[in-house]
Amino acid sequence: MFARAAAGLYKATMDDSGKKRGGALNRRIRQHAAGKPHRFFAVAQPGFEEIARDELRGAGVAEEFSLVEGGLEFEARLDGCYRANLCSRALTRVLMRLDRFSAARFERLTAKAADFPWELYLNGSDPLAINVSCSRSRLYHTGRIEEEMRRAIGERLAACGIEPPAVEGDGSATPQTVYARFENDVCVTSLDSSGAPLYRRGYKTHITSAPLRETIAAALLHASGLERCTTLIDPMCGSGTFSMEAAHIWSGRLAGDGRAFAFERWPAFRPAAFAHLKKTLSTKYSSAGDDTERRLFCADIDPEAVKTARANMKNAGLDDAVIPVQEDFFAAAPDIPLGEGTLLVLNPPYGARIPHGNIASFYRRIGATVRERYASCAYCVIVPGFEVEKALSLSWDKKIIFMNGGIRVAAIIKQAP
Ligand SMILES: C[S@@+](CC[C@H](N)C(=O)[O-])C[C@H]1O[C@@H](n2cnc3c(N)ncnc32)[C@H](O)[C@@H]1O
């Protein structure tokens, strides 16, 4: 089956000289991969889909989005995919939809995989990872599915004169990842455009034991109204995620400024056009800021956490702007004016590492401190469960429930006016 499909393709492309064949392939890449819109699925942590949609609209990715739990679909050209990866602070990754077909038997799967023009999307020189998931489908042996797809892709590329990609894991390069998702005997294939998850911004090299993902921190800051605030108080900073995200949002730094993406290895990728897009977006975002003077207070009771946060600030180029200090949240409020333009963010320990006393009394104390000292401020407090939320006893405008480190938590938010 593969041999037939591959031989046909080989003939079609070998009619010309080797050079011309390359030209023909380039033309097809320009026409089909670069020149046409594609469907994309942007993965977002459940609870943050609407925030991600607003970000993508603001970045000029698309106008129409379909939201589902855990992400959003949109149609765009490659430019839209690059924008989503560069600008979104809330997304985890962006997948390009490739194909959708029914396949209840291996013969059908291999025929469809051999028919797909992988040469337009994969360059062959990077290792290839194939990520398979199956639910309610007659094909359920993920290892065999991966094997069949890898063979079909390799033969298809070889027929185009492209070396078949190595299996992931030799460590030489970041792999390209194809996702094959089977549900009710229908297979959807997608190509990952992001590479490392988008919460890896490229600067948090040091972590404390329960760090918050950058994507969650940014989404919560946005939901709390950070853009309308002039002061951020981050008194249980851990590795400093809230503070770093806030400083970068305020300065208009692109989320993806300091990292690479899988799409940079796609055959349709044009480095000069991408550099121009990145520059245009950097200018747009950084000039959206104003001259307002902003303050950021970042502290933790644990000297190790303070050290970690300082190291991260340095990596993020923020060591002049933010100097984490060692302080107990309950001891005193920071010595800066607090009021309507102030946002307090708290991701307290969830249980195991709470010093002296039980979790309810710890959160009760946090709630009392917030009411007493931060009554006029906006706040975002992350709580692990409803009982703890009752103990905290803070009013809210918005509550976002999400999973953090395998624990179901809620962000209790009083939004900035
Ligand atoms: C869940 S971690 C915060 C993680 C952080 N958001 C991050 O991204 O790394 C909770 C932090 O609260 C700090 N903490 C606990 N009690 C504190 C207190 N009374 N004052 C200040 N910090 C405290 C802990 O040392 C720990 O670093």
Tell me whether strands 398-404 and 38-44 are parallel, antiparallel or unpaired. unpaired
Q: pTM of the prediction?
A: 0.89
Number of helices (H), then strands (E), belonging to the chain: the values are: 12, 14
- Give all domains of the chain, ordered by start, each with its CATH number: 2-192 (3.30.2130.30), 214-252+289-414 (3.40.50.150)
Q: Are strands 378-383 and 342-346 parallel, antiparallel or unpaired?
A: parallel
For residue 416, with 0-12 CB atoms within 10 Å meaning exposed, 13-18 middle and 19 or more buried, which class applies? buried
Q: What is the best residue among 236, 347, 354 to mutate for testing ligand 1's pocket, by most ligand atoms within 8 Å of CB?
A: 236
Nearest residue (CA) to ligand 1, atom 14: 236
pLDDT at 354: 60
**Closest C-alpha to ligand 1, atom 1:** 349
C-alpha of residue 169 to centroid of ligand 1, in Å: 36
Contact status, residue 358 vs residue 384, Cβ threshold 8 Å: no
Tell me what pLDDT residue 205 has. Answer: 76
The pLDDT score that the predictor gives to residue 14 is 38
Q: Can you tell me the distance from the alpha carbon of 323 to that of 320, in angstroms, rounded to the nearest whole number?
A: 7
Strand partners, 232: 296, 343
Alpha-carbon dihedral angle through residues 297, 302, 303, 309, given to the nearest 10 degrees: -50
Residue 123: count other Cβ atoms within 10 Å of its Cβ: 16
**Strand positions, DSSP E, 148-194:** 176-183, 186-192
- String of b and e for 187-218 (b: at least 16 CB within 10 Å)? bbbbbbbbbeebbebebbebebebbbbbbbbb
Ligand 1 atom at minimum distance from 241 CA: 8
pLDDT at 18: 38
Task: Return the residue matching tokens 């031989």.
Answer: 7
- Residue whose CA is at the smallest distance from ligand 1 atom 25: 302
Query: If you write DSSP's letter for every residue of 78-98 in order, what string do you get?
Result: HHHHHHHHHH-SSEEEEEEEE
**Ligand 1 centroid, distance to 202 Cα (angstroms):** 22
* Each residue's pLDDT expressed in tens, for the chain with a length of 417 residues: 333 333 334 333 433 333 344 789 999 999 999 999 999 999 999 999 999 999 999 999 999 999 999 999 999 999 999 999 999 999 999 999 999 999 999 999 999 999 999 999 998 888 999 999 999 999 999 999 999 999 999 999 999 999 888 876 556 667 899 999 999 999 999 999 999 999 999 877 777 777 899 999 999 999 999 999 999 999 999 999 999 999 999 999 999 998 999 999 999 999 999 999 999 999 998 877 667 889 999 999 999 999 999 999 999 999 888 999 999 999 988 998 898 899 999 999 987 666 656 899 999 999 999 999 999 999 999 999 999 999 999 999 999 999 998 899 999 999 999
The rounded Å distance from CA 116 to ligand 1 centre is 50
Instruction: Residue 244: name the closest of 279, 202, 209, 303 by CA.
Output: 202
The CA-based angle 52-379-336, given to 5 degrees, is 120
Q: Could you tell me the distance, in angstroms and rounded to a whole number, from the CA of residue 246 to the centre of ligand 1?
A: 17
The pLDDT value given to residue 165? 83
- Tell me how far the alpha carbon of residue 255 lies from the centroid of ligand 1, in angstroms: 24
- Write the pLDDT tens digit of every residue in 182-225: 999 999 999 999 999 999 998 777 777 778 999 999 999 999 99
Which structure tokens are listed for 81? 């995919």
Q: How far is the CA of 394 from the centre of ligand 1 (A)?
A: 19
Binding-site residues, ligand 1, Cβ < 6 A: 208, 210-212, 235-236, 238-239, 241-242, 300-302, 305, 328-330, 347-349
Residue nearest to atom 16 of ligand 1 (CA): 301
Show the tokens assigned to 393: 């006893």
Ligand 1 atom index nearest CA of 350 = 1
Beta bridge partners of 402: 409
C-alpha 190/C-alpha 137 separation (Å) is: 18
Residues in CB range of 356: below 8 A, 6 or more apart: none
pLDDT at 172: 60
pLDDT on residue 20: 43
Model confidence pLDDT, tens digit, residues 103-124: 999 999 999 999 999 999 998 8
Helix (H, G, I), strand (E, B) or coil at 325: strand
Tokens read off for 300: 């933790």
DSSP state of 167: B
How many Å lie between the centroid of ligand 1 and the Cα of residue 235? 8
Q: Report residue 62 as tokens.
A: 């698309």
